[in-house]
Structure 1
Amino acid sequence: MIDKLSPRNLRVLIAVYEASTVAGAAQVLLRAPSAVSRSVQELEWALGTPLFERMTAGMLPTPAAEVAYRRAKRMEGEFLAAHRDLVDLGVVRHAPLFAMMMSARQIEMLLKLAELGRMPLVAEALGMSQPAISSALRELEQSLQVPLFERGLRRMVPTPAGALLVFRLRRVRSEIEHLRADVGSALGSVRGRVTLSMLPSSRTALMPQAIAHFVERHPDVQVTVVDAPFDVLFAGLQSGEIDVIYTGIGPEYQRRELRVEPVSRDGLVLVARAGHPLARRAKLTASDLARYPWVLRDPSAPSRQLLDQVFARIGLASPRVAVQAGDLGLLRGLLMQSDLLSAVSPEHLLHELQAGTLVVLDMDLPGSEREVGFVLRKDAQPSTPCRLLMDDIHALAITLSQHAIPRSHYEKE
């Protein structure tokens, strides 16, 4: 069923939608009308709904076809972008691939080769024979007249042309998944998958409540949460593998061709265990902080970059980072069992601060307040399930911010 939602068939959908007749689409595509009709029927079978009403005057798009057409045009745009990316590398300008002449199986094969790097693993993952994979890859490379993978002793590595094509095909695969989800939602059945990442401070209250509420109302949607260094997350966002990131918003995102949707605000505080030597000290100084090691996120994390900026602004040396980690459980354990310091949003360690096992140290961090919200690819069109989840997160974030506990509540008397 998945293979029926291929670029090859969706190319036919575009032609029929724009020509309004099977005969007109067949003329544009240089295919027999019976082949065009068969492609439309395969799409309808795969999506479980009619896409066109067969009228005497032509093909009238249904609401499902309107949704599918918009996604198919986005896929067409990715293939055109692949053409622009690859022509400078010597590929054949009129290769069939650039006209969306690919099956979903071919896309999965190339993406699995890039991911796994070994043909036996790809064959096992896709249920294909190694000769079939080798033949399909060779045929594709011959049509483009450039190698897509370097055959090494241990693994296959994408060439520059292969890497560019893989990037675009990841976006195409994402659009195929969104198409199925959007059509289902248009028919009243919210289903599909949402892949997101989030800043650690949202994982204590906001995200557990929002996601639990969402999956209760939409049990046919799978929510996948990705945790990785921010550079990896943003690469996934650009390739379509991650739908949205909920994080602190900085001006650098505008330079990354990203779109931001602010939701709320937060700030950083210095935290340590309740029995820490600095816990009862008033008006801490730079020398006080310099005596102790820190546990912080990786340098690409927005909170880490913000802290470095704040320290530079108030004339403090950068913290001496002994442990670099983003895992909440590890952070909690390190702070409670050592004299390590950290800087986090209060919501990050909400339960520990409320219980008094961790405390906020007496030192202001002016300029650490920031906007928090969604970061998406600049040209992204989130699927219906993704947008519904974002709406739930947004609404709950506003509610929680209205009932936020002030910083003074956490400070040690």
Structure 2
Amino acid sequence: MQRSLADSRVKFRHLQCFLAVAQFGSVGRAAESLSITQPAVSKTVAELEAILGVKLFERGRHGAVPTREGQLFMPHASACVSALRQGVDLLARAEGAAAATLEIGILPTVAAALVPPALKRFAALWPRVIVRLATGANPELLERLKAGTIEFAIGRLADPERMVGLSFEQLFSEPLIAVVRAGHPLALGAGLPATSLEDYPVVLPPFGTLIRQSAESLLSAWGVPPLSGFVEVLSVSTGRALALENDAVWFVPLSAVEYELAHGMLVRLPLPFAGTGEPVGLIRRSDTQPSPVGRAFIDAVREVAQQRMAAAAGKPAAKRVSKRGRGGSPTI
């Protein structure tokens, strides 16, 4: 069959099912996300494979993995679905019948610092837009972006192999810090060595994240023995609760706890964190352009990021003298 004839037979439902299976790596999870049955998803994907004359997925014990042909087809399918959604949203806004929709992804650790001020600016220009925020770990955001379920993401620069087909625009660099509740023994300035951290519950970012790697490198550099037990958490609200209601030491990006630090709820431990700054930025698909509403939100995020950098540059950094304890370990 000629591909020109096949093109006319490809429907929106084919692309939807294909992208959902590619995103979730599972027919079952794809069906759940689309609110249809698994047989319906399998049949639709099989129809698309027959129309295109290629196999799009390898199916096995580990789920559905896109073939080489599936990987080649994915960005084009994603671009088609994204363009159609943008067109429908713009018509809805022009007619005043319904609000347009903007779907973006963002790391939970930076959402509180960026979203409220950016949304305030954005809503002043686009009041009739439904903004859907998807939070998740960086790898999850990148997969959702490639699958076309979000228009852009605010995340961290990943390894080159994960950034294929994506562009990254740095907004700011975010340092990692360690915080405890006000009144915590480590916050009383008793000159305790950093190795004292092992005497308290430690809350770390999830394994495999960039900030987890930074935290582990710091603990090793400070001479803290491998932790026998700790809590892994991505949720900012859960990490906050663990720090406020326990004697936990929470390793977290600075922007996630600015409010709590400013209001004296949490205290930053005076440990050396030099070199832990990780770039945070806008991540987009290289093969698509942002929609008008997406472009407006991106502009708002850029403004907020610029103000943050200007404010940080205008404030003299607080001097933290970190003394060395026994064995070269810094003191708290």
2:289 corresponds to which residue? Answer: 381
1:53-82 per-position Cα deviation (integer Å, ceiling 9, x unaligned): xxxxxxxxxxxxxxxxxxxxxxxxxxxxxx
Query: What is the CA distance between 1:218 and its match in structure 2?
Result: 0.9
Larger radius of gyration: 1
3-state SS of the aligned residue for 1:393? helix
Unpaired runs of 5+ residues, structure 2, are 322-331
Return the alpha-carbon distance in structure 1 between the equivalents of residues 111 and 80 of structure 2: 30
Are positions 1:270 and 2:192 aligned together?
no
Out of 335-344 and 279-288, give the one that drifted further.
279-288
> TM-score with structure 1 length normalisation?
0.61
Query: What is the CA distance between 1:238 and its match in structure 2?
Result: 1.9
1:335 corresponds to which residue? Answer: 243
Return the alpha-carbon distance in structure 1 between the equivalents of residues 115 and 316 of structure 2: 20
Alignment of 1:74-153 (within 5 A): 94-96=2-4, 99=7, 101-111=9-19, 117=27, 125=35, 139-145=47-53
Contact in 2 for aligned 1:296/1:324 (Cα 8 Å) = yes
1:226 corresponds to which residue? Answer: 134
Contact in 2 for aligned 1:191/1:221 (Cα 8 Å) = yes
Return the alpha-carbon distance in structure 1 between the equivalents of residues 84 and 53 of structure 2: 27
Are positions 1:324 and 2:215 aligned together?
no
2:329 corresponds to which residue? Answer: none
Alignment of 1:12-411 (within 5 A): 94-96=2-4, 99=7, 101-111=9-19, 117=27, 125=35, 139-145=47-53, 160=67, 164=71, 167-168=74-75, 169-180=77-88, 192-249=100-157, 252-253=159-160, 256-257=163-164, 258-281=166-189, 284-312=192-220, 322-404=230-312, 408=318
Return the alpha-carbon distance in structure 1 between the equivalents of residues 251 and 133 of structure 2: 23
Query: What is the CA distance between 1:341 and its match in structure 2?
Result: 0.9
Return the alpha-carbon distance in structure 2 between the equivalents of residues 305 and 134 of structure 1: 39
Contact in 2 for aligned 1:269/1:344 (Cα 8 Å) = yes
Return the alpha-carbon distance in structure 2 between the equivalents of residues 187 and 198 of structure 1: 30
1:142-180 per-position Cα deviation (integer Å, ceiling 9, x unaligned): 44456667999xxx9677489648844344312322344
3-state SS of the aligned residue for 1:263? strand
Contact in 1 for aligned 2:58/2:67 (Cα 8 Å) = no
1:339-374 per-position Cα deviation (integer Å, ceiling 9, x unaligned): 211122333112221222210112121111233321
Query: What is the CA distance between 1:207 and its match in structure 2?
Result: 1.2
3-state SS of the aligned residue for 2:244? helix
* 2:163 alignment partner AA: R
Query: What is the CA distance between 1:328 and its match in structure 2?
Result: 1.9
3-state SS of the aligned residue for 1:226? strand
Identity of aligned residues (%): 26
Contact in 2 for aligned 1:229/1:300 (Cα 8 Å) = no
**Root mean square deviation of aligned Cα:** 4.3
Out of 221-230 and 200-209, give the one that drifted further.
200-209
Contact in 2 for aligned 1:231/1:300 (Cα 8 Å) = no
Return the alpha-carbon distance in structure 1 between the equivalents of residues 81 and 269 of structure 2: 48
2:327 corresponds to which residue? Answer: none
Query: What is the CA distance between 1:330 and its match in structure 2?
Result: 1.1
3-state SS of the aligned residue for 1:382? coil
Return the alpha-carbon distance in structure 1 between the equivalents of residues 291 and 228 of structure 2: 43
Return the alpha-carbon distance in structure 1 between the equivalents of residues 140 and 297 of structure 2: 23
Unpaired runs of 5+ residues, structure 1, are 1-91
